[in-house]
Amino acid sequence: MDTFADWLRARDDDALRSLLSARPELVNPVPADMAALATRASTPAAISRALDRLDRFALAVLESLLVLPRPLAPDALPAALGATADDVARALETLEHHGLVWGDGTYATAPGVRQSLPHPAGLGPPAREVFAGYPLERLTALVTDLDGTEPRGFPDTGRLLDRMTDVLAAPEALIAEAGPEAAAALEHLAWGPPVGRVADARRPVRTATAATPVERLLARGLLAAEDDRTVTLPREVALHLRGGRLFRDVPAHPPELIGRSGSSRASEQGELEVRTAAGEAFTAVRLTEELLERWGTEPPPVLRSGGLAVRDLRAAATLLEVEEWHAALLAEVAYAAGLLTRTGDLDGEWLPTPAYDLWLMRDIPGRWTELARGWLKTDRAPGLAGERDDRDRLINALSEAVVRTSAPATRTAVLRVLAAAAPGVTVDAEAVRTRLAWLHPRRAGPLRDRLVDWTLREAAVLGITGFGRLVPYARDLLDDDDPEPGLQKHLPDPVDRVLIQADLTAIAPGPLVTELARELALSAEVESTGGATVYRFTPVSIRRALDAGRTAAELAELLARHSATPLPQPLAYLIEDVGRRHGHLRVGSLNSYVRTDSPATLDEILADRRSGTLRLHRLAPTVLASDLPRGELLEGLRGMGLAPVAEAPGGGIIVTRPDQLRAEPAPTAEIVRVRPGPQPADASVIAAAVRALRAGEEAARHGAEQARLRGAAPSGEPPRSPAAATVDRLREAVQRGGRVWIGYLDQQGRSSSRIVEPVRVEGGFLTGYDATRAAVQRFALHRITGVSELGDEPPA
C-alpha cells in the first residue's frame, strides 16, 4: 500500500462503514471512488472535524506520531506518553477508525493531519527545519559564535544545520550563558505554544553584542526568527526544558465523575428524582401552552432587527411568574419545536403555528418529548438573551444573535456525561467541564463553559434532570427514542372538572383537559399556580370571552357542565350582567359610529368629559359619528366603563378578539428552527455509500481494463450490442439482481460508460442505481448503445 487511497481500498466493508459512521460528512455527497474519498478525507475542514471528535489521549497519541523519530520503536509511544501498551493500542484503533492514521502496523498519519496540527504536543519544528530559512551569512555567524571558530572551507548550509542540531541537542550550557531572565522566557514557551511575538525579530545579533534577554537567546540559537515579528523555540530546546517528556500529564482515561452522593436508600432517592423531574416536565408543558395561548390572542410584535422586545419578554415572565431567562427559554424551545414562528418580515408578529394545534392533541409525554427534542437539537442558546454582543448591542430572545452552532453538540455531550455518572451521584458543573475538557479538548473555550452552565440549568427546568441527575425517561432522548413509560407514570391525569366557588374563583385540582383549559384561560384570570391552579372571574375576563364570540348563555352552560358543584349565583349574575350590557353599544366605521336604541345613553356619553377625545357628533337621536378608527373608538368607550361591540355594515356583530390566531407562513418559511451539525448517518445510508464506493472503484478498474484490451483511452469504449439483445440483457440483470456495464448517449450525443444495478425496465426506460454517479437514475432505452456483463470480454 503506497498511498492513503490504496489503504482505503484494502479496507473491508465493515471497516469502511465504521469510518463513514465516525465521519458522516464524508458521504455528503458520496465520493465517486476511493481516490475521491481519500482526497475529501484529507481536506482541512474534514481533518478538523475528525480531530474535534478525539479525546485528549487519542489526540496526544496522534501528536506523538508527528514528533517521534521514525521508525518507531515498539515501546516508543507508551514511553513517551507514560501509558500502558493497551491504552496506546486502543487509542491507535480509534485513530485508525477515524482514518487519521493508516498503514500496516506503521501508523503513518493521514494526509493533511500535519498541516492541521502545526505545533504537535506544543513543540516547534526541529532545529534543522527552523533554521533552514536563515540566510547563509547569518547561519555562518550563528555557528561561529557557538563554536568559537569559523567553519573551515566554503560554508555549506547542510553542514551548518547539522552543527546547529548537534549543539542544541544539549543546550544547558547555552541556557546558562543567556542568563536567568532569558531562561525564564524559555520556560514560558517550553510547554507551548512554542511561538512568541517580538519586535524586529530578524535584527542581526551576535553573542558579543546581545544586550536584552531575547537578543541573547537569538544569538545562541535558543530562539529562531521566523519573520520580523515571530520567534520560535526549536524542538530540541523545548524537549530539554521538559526533561524529555512530550506532555505534562495526559491521562489515558477520562477523569472520574466525583460529586455529591444522595441518600443511602438509593431506590427512594431515585424515585424522588424522577417525580421531581416529571413535575418540572409537566410545568414546562403547561407554561409553554399558557404562553402560546396568550400570544395566540395578543401576539407580540417582531422587532425590526428580529427577535422579541425586552418589554414583551418581561410581560411573558410576569404572565408565567418565572424569571426572564426562563421565559426566554420557553419561547426559544417553542420556536425550535416548530410551535411558534413570526409572520412576515416587516411589522410581523410572533404567533403559534398550525403545528401547535396538533401538539395540543397529544398527551403530556408526547408534548414534552417534542419540546425536549427541540431544545436538544436547536443551535440557539437562550441563555444569551438579555446580554450584549461584541458591539455592545442587546441580544434579544428569538433573534438570530442567539445562534451558536456548537450549542447542540455541547448539550448532548453534557447529558452524556451526566448519564455516565454513578447511580446516586450528583455531578456539578466543574466536574462536567473537566470531563468535557478530556473528551473534546479542541472544543474548549469560554463559550463552552457557559453553555455547560446553561445546559444544566435548562435541563432542570425542562424536567430532563432531577436534583442534577439525568432521569431514566430522558436517557432515551440521547438515542432519539421515545421516552419510556416512566414519565407518564409520574404525571397526574388531566381532569375535566373544576371547583367553582361563590367568591368568583375556580380551583382546578390538577391539569385540565385541553378544551377546558383554553376556555378558562379565555374567560378567567390565573390567580395562582402550584398543586392546584386558581382562576378568578372578572368583568374584564367575562367580556373577553364574549368578545371572542361566546354568548352569555353558552359560557354559563360550559362552566356549569364542568363545575363539580352547581354554578354559584354570584358568577351567574356576573355573566348575566356583563352579557346584558355587552353589545348594548355598537361601533361601526364612518370612519366610525356609535349606535344604540336608547338616545339617553348617547346623551350621557356626550355629557361625559372623557368623551371629548373621541371627537363624537350626533347624526341622529340614536347614532353618533366619529373620525377615529373603529378600534380606537371601541377602546375609548371601554375606557369609560361601557361595553360596546363592533358592528358589521349589515348590522351583525364582528368578533374583535378571536380566541386564537395562527401564523400562516409562506411555503418557503422555515418553521422548525433546528440546525444541528453533521448527524450520525443512517446505517442504510452508510451501507449504500460503501456499495457506491465499491461500484465506483469497479467502474474505474473495469474502464481501465477495457482500455488496455482495446488500446483505447483510459475511459474505455462504451459497450455496443443490438437493441433487442440490450433489452433482454437488462431484464435478465433485473431478475438476477446483477450489475451491468452500459454505454449511454446524452442529449448532445456524447457517449459515456455507466455501471448500473437495474431495478426495473418498463415504459421505454431503465431505472437503476447508477454506481458511477452514486444515485438512482432513469435511462431512456433508445439511448443505451449496449450492455456488457462486468465479467464479459469486451464485445467485438
10-residue stretch averages of pLDDT, the chain, 796 residues long: 86 92 87 87 93 95 91 86 92 94 86 92 91 88 81 74 90 92 92 90 87 91 91 93 88 86 60 87 91 90 90 94 95 95 80 90 88 93 93 92 93 93 86 94 92 96 91 81 62 84 89 81 82 87 86 90 90 90 76 87 89 87 87 87 82 64 49 45 78 79 52 53 82 80 82 81 80 73 84 42
Query: Which residue segment(s) compose the domain that 527 sits in?
Result: 499-581
CA distance 776 to 405: 33
Domain end among 462, 489, 516:
489
Domain end among 537, 555, 581:
581
Residue 624 in domain = yes
Enter the C-alpha cell of residue 300. 407580540
Domain end among 489, 515, 544:
489
Q: Residue 406 carries which DSSP code?
A: T
* Shared-domain flag, residues 778 and 723: yes
Enter the C-alpha cell of residue 154. 566554503
CA distance 786 to 719: 5
β-strands 592-595, 623-626 pairing:
antiparallel
* Shared-domain flag, residues 478 and 507: no
Enter the C-alpha cell of residue 433. 467541564
* Shared-domain flag, residues 575 and 590: no
Residue 379 in domain = yes
Residue 305 in domain = yes
Which residue from 398, 400, 407 is spatially nearest to 313, judged by alpha carbons?
398
Q: What is the DSSP string of 738-753?
A: --EEEEEE-TTS-EEE
Number of Cβ within a 10 Å radius of residue 132 = 15
Residue 406 main-chain phi, psi, to 5 deg? -85, -5
Crossing angle, helix 310-320 and helix 324-336, to 10 degrees? 100
Residue 79 in domain = no
Residue 551 in domain = yes
Length in residues, the chain: 796
* Shared-domain flag, residues 781 and 721: yes
Distances (CA, A) of 16 to 32, 39, 44, 355, 462: 15, 15, 21, 40, 39
Contact in structure between 397 and 385 (CB atoms under 8 Å): yes
Contact in structure between 755 and 790 (CB atoms under 8 Å): yes
Where in 160-271 does DSSP place strands (E)? 195-197, 224-225, 230-232, 260-261
pLDDT at 675: 44
Name, in order, each residue with C-beta under 8 angstroms of 347's C-beta and a sequence gap of 6 or more. 301, 302
pLDDT at 528: 80
Enter the C-alpha cell of residue 703. 474502464
Contact in structure between 52 and 25 (CB atoms under 8 Å): no
* Shared-domain flag, residues 513 and 623: no
* Shared-domain flag, residues 532 and 436: no
Sheet with 645-647: list strands edge to edge. 616-620, 623-626, 592-595, 586-588, 645-647, 653-654
Q: Residue 591 carries which DSSP code?
A: T
* Shared-domain flag, residues 433 and 318: yes
- Amino acid making up residue 345: D
Enter the C-alpha cell of residue 471. 432521569
Number of Cβ within a 10 Å radius of residue 463 = 26
Contact in structure between 425 and 259 (CB atoms under 8 Å): yes
Bridge partners, residue 403, by sequence: 380
Residue 741 in domain = yes
Residue 742 in domain = yes
* Shared-domain flag, residues 512 and 458: no
* Shared-domain flag, residues 572 and 601: no
Alpha helices in 211-341 (DSSP H): 213-219, 235-241, 266-297, 310-320, 324-336
- Predicted TM-score (pTM) of the model is 0.72
Residue 263 in domain = no
* Shared-domain flag, residues 171 and 306: no
Count structural domains, the chain: 5
CA distance 21 to 690: 11
Enter the C-alpha cell of residue 336. 425550535
Contact in structure between 395 and 385 (CB atoms under 8 Å): yes
- The long-range contacts involving 162-166, CB below 8 angstroms and separated by at least 24 positions, are 162/128, 164/127, 164/128, 164/131, 164/139, 164/221, 165/126, 165/127, 165/128, 165/236
- Amino acid making up residue 723: A
* Shared-domain flag, residues 308 and 407: yes
Name, in order, each residue with C-beta under 8 angstroms of 343's C-beta and a sequence gap of 6 or more. 302, 349, 351, 663, 664, 665
Bridge partners, residue 780, by sequence: 765
Contact in structure between 717 and 729 (CB atoms under 8 Å): no
Name, in order, each residue with C-beta under 8 angstroms of 236's C-beta and a sequence gap of 6 or more. 126, 127, 165, 168, 169, 171
Contact in structure between 317 and 362 (CB atoms under 8 Å): no
In SS3 terms, 655-721 reads as CCCCCCCCCCCCCCCCCCCCCCCCCCCCHHHHHHHHHHHHHHHHHHHHHHHHHHHHCCCCCCCCCCC
Enter the C-alpha cell of residue 6. 490504496
Contact in structure between 62 and 95 (CB atoms under 8 Å): yes
* Shared-domain flag, residues 734 and 759: yes
Distances (CA, A) of 732 to 205, 720, 742, 757, 758: 82, 17, 14, 11, 9
Contact in structure between 65 and 106 (CB atoms under 8 Å): no
To the nearest 5 percent, what fractions of the chain are helix, strand and coil?
Answer: 50, 15, 40
Enter the C-alpha cell of residue 696. 465506483
